[in-house]
Each structure stands twice: as structure tokens, then as C-alpha cells.
């Protein structure tokens, strides 16, 4: 078969491991020709390609980012977009496309399949771990490890100076990274988008901790966390070219308010893109490799319109329609019954 591959949306550790696995199983196991599209859908529309061979993918397993480049944006943004995708598939003699992407790219893949009958298969990726249908996405474990390492380091400087440190982590709609890194790093409080916070309550927890002689605290806040309505004014957020709110900054606001209301010396730290860059953990390399092998096998099974998913110990398939337009939120049992046990 001739199969196209693209990576869309934000980059994520493990993307190259997925591509490498598709290529390895495709070329050696199935005798396929795998073609990479550069810069996501732009590359498909403009036929910017690179041959993906076992040789070309050598050394890529531990490398972060994506050898194919990535973009946000969709062929549906342009009146000619879908026809161009269709023409690329036809003219290049492709049997189908494997789309490795997050909520946005998987929605595009789903629409191309359901409304235009194009042969596409999805592989879910995001460090945010918020895709419905899969127990986990690759990249998440790496992001949690990076955030946990940072929190471990911040504990010692916070303790030396008797400071509160507010660590902002990624998590646009869901607080998976914040909750896991908060548990793993021993945070005093974790603020997530699923559970609007009360800044008075946060300050009260910190005061109680001080009364017990614990003068250093770590507050973890997901970038998408918001205060309870009417409790704290959050400034308007910029919107990028694709209509996404540009997040990042709630940690500064929370740190300012804590400092002002409690008088405790408080500092913000924004981890930002550090969480998405660099080498994937062993766990993510294994998950990404399993997803890649399952994806090329599914292509040979004619499973268009599906995506590969992690279900318990297995890698399985689920319809793309299951994931689209939905968000996988943090399990409240994990947040309230486990993480919150350790809140001050």
C-alpha cells in the first residue's frame, strides 16, 4: 500500500516514535511505501512530501518534536481545501492517510471521513491527555515527569526562602498534568479547569499551613484553571489565528493575589513549552510505538474512520466520532479523593 502520514496540532513527545513504528511495520511487515506530509494539512494540500523509510527514521525514537513539522489549521478553513486533499490522495495514488493529532486534527479527520468518505485513520496525541475514547495519550507521561522534576527543584528553593511558589503547567480544558504532577510532586494545592477555585480558600489553606510551621508551599495551577465566578477578575485573553485563546498567565495572577492577601512572599513559575519539548519517557516511547504499529495494521484491515486507543492493557480501535467535540476531564475521584487529601 501507499500510505500518507501527517502530524497536526501542537507538538508532543513521542510523535517520532509513532512515525518510526508505522514505517518499520509498514515497510518491513507489509511491504508498504510510507510518505510523510510536511507541515500537516498544508503539506497535504501543497503536496510537500518526504519519503519515510526505515533508513530516514534512524535515530528518531528518542527525539522530541516531529520530523514532519506541524501546524494548526484545517483544510475546511479554505473553500478549496478538501478538494485539494482529495486530489492529493488520488493523484499520488495513496490508499489512505494516517493523521497523528489532537482534538483539532482528529475532528478534521473525522469530517473528511464522514462527510467526504476519504480514507483516514487517527492516532490521538496530546500532552494534555484530554481525548475521549483513549485511557491515555502519549506525551502526557513525559509532561508529568518534566513538571514533577521542576516541582522537586522548586521545593528546595521555596524551603530555603520560606516562599510560596505557584507553578503553572499546561492543561487547556483539563487538569490532568496539574493533578498528576501535583500528586507526584507533593503540592499544597492543585487548581484545575474542571473545578473553579476560590482564591480566599487557597489563601486560607496556605495560612493554616504557616500556622503549623510549614512556611514553604507549592501551588500547582493548570493554565486553563479559572476562579469561581465573581471571586477574582481575570483579564481578557488574546485569541490566536485559529481562534484558540492564548492561555498562560493565570499563575502570575494567582501568585500576585496570594502575596497580596497573605503577605507571604510568593513567586510564579510558568513551565510552558518546556513540558512539550525534548525526549519522551520510556513509557511514552512504548505507547507511541504500540500506537504506530496498531495504526498501520488497522490501515491494512481497512479500518478507515477509526483511531487507535489505549484501553486498559490493550491497544484497540474506536470510531473517530467518539472523540470529536468532546473533552476527557480529570476524574473527580482522583482529584477530590486522592490529590485533595494532601492539600493543606
- Count CB-CB contacts under 10 A for residue 115: 10
Residue 241 vs 333, nearer CB to ligand F6P? 241
Q: Which residue is nearest to ligand F6P (CB)?
A: 170
CB 204 within 8 A of CB 215: no
Q: What is the CA radius of gyration of the chain?
A: 22
Give one DSSP letter per residue of 84-138, joined into a string: HHHHHHHHTT-SEEEEEE-HHHHHHHHHHHHHH---EEEEEB-TT---TT-S--B
Residue 128 catalytic?
yes
- Which residue is listed with cell 485569541? 239
In the 8-state DSSP scheme, what is residue 10? S
Least separation, in Å, of the C-beta of 42 and ligand F6P?
15
Least separation, in Å, of the C-beta of 247 and ligand F6P?
5
Least separation, in Å, of the C-beta of 176 and ligand F6P?
10
Least separation, in Å, of the C-beta of 27 and ligand F6P?
30
Residue 126 vs 289, nearer CB to ligand F6P? 126
Contacts of 204 (CB under 8 A, 6+ apart): none
Residue 10 vs 280, nearer CB to ligand F6P? 10
Catalytic residue among 32, 39, 42, 128: 128
CA distance 6 to 19: 9
Residue 4 vs 13, nearer CB to ligand F6P? 13
Residues that bind ligand F6P in the complex, under the rule CB under 6 A: 10, 102, 126-128, 170-172, 223, 247, 276
Residue 26 vs 268, nearer CB to ligand F6P? 268
First to last CA, the chain: 58
Residue ranges of the alpha helices (H) in the chain?
A: 15-24, 40-46, 81-91, 103-116, 140-161, 176-185, 199-211, 250-262, 282-300, 320-323, 332-337
CA distance 108 to 324: 9
Least separation, in Å, of the C-beta of 340 and ligand F6P?
23
Residue 81 vs 175, nearer CB to ligand F6P? 175
CA dihedral 60, 62, 67, 71 (to 10 degrees): 160
Return the closest-CA partner of residue 136 out of 308, 305, 306.
Answer: 308
Catalytic residues: 128
Amino acid at each position: 500500500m501507499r500510505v500518507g502520514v501527517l502530524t497536526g496540532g501542537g507538538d508532543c513527545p513521542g510523535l517520532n516514535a509513532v512515525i518510526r513504528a508505522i514505517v518499520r511495520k509498514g515497510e518491513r511487515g507489509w511491504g508498504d511505501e510510507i510518505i510523510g506530509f510536511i507541515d500537516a494539512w498544508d503539506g497535504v494540500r501543497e503536496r510537500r512530501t518526504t519519503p519515510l523509510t526505515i533508513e530516514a527514521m534512524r535515530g528518531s525514537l528518542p527525539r522530541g518534536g516531529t520530523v514532519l513539522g506541524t501546524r494548526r489549521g484545517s483544510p475546511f478553513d479554505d473553500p478549496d481545501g478538501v478538494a485539494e486533499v482529495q486530489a492529493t490522495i488520488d493523484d499520488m495514488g495513496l490508499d489512505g492517510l494516517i493523521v497523528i493529532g489532537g482534538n483539532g486534527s482528529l475532528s478534521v479527520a473525522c469530517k473528511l471521513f464522514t462527510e467526504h468518505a476519504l480514507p483516514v485513520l487517527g492516532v490521538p496525541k496530546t500532552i494534555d491527555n484530554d481525548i475521549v475514547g483513549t485511557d491515555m495519550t502519549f506525551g502526557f507521561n513525559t509532561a508529568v515527569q518534566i513538571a514533577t522534576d521542576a516541582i522537586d527543584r522548586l521545593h528546595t528553593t521555596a524551603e530555603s526562602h520560606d516562599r510560596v511558589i505557584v507553578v503553572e503547567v499546561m492543561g487547556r480544558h483539563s487538569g490532568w498534568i496539574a493533578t498528576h504532577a501535583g500528586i507526584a510532586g507533593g503540592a499544597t494545592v492543585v487548581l484545575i479547569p474542571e473545578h473553579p477555585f476560590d482564591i480566599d480558600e487557597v489563601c486560607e489553606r496556605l495560612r493554616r499551613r504557616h500556622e503549623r510551621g510549614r512556611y514553604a508551599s507549592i501551588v500547582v495551577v493548570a493554565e486553563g484553571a479559572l476562579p469561581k465566578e465573581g471571586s477574582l477578575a481575570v483579564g481578557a485573553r488574546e485569541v490566536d489565528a485559529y481562534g484558540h485563546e492564548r492561555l498562560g498567565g493565570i499563575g502570575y495572577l494567582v501568585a500576585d493575589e496570594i502575596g497580596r492577601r497573605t503577605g507571604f512572599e510568593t513567586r510564579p513559575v510558568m513551565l510552558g513549552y518546556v513540558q512539550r519539548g525534548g525526549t519522551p519517557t520510556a513509557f511514552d516511547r512504548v505507547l507511541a510505538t504500540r500506537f504506530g504499529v496498531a495504526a498501520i495494521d488497522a490501515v491494512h484491515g481497512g479500518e478507515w474512520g477509526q483511531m487507535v486507543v489505549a484501553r486498559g492493557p490493550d491497544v484497540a480501535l474506536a470510531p473517530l466520532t467518539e472523540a470529536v467535540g468532546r473533552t476527557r476531564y480529570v476524574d473527580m475521584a482522583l482529584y477530590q479523593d486522592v490529590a485533595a487529601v494532601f492539600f493543606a
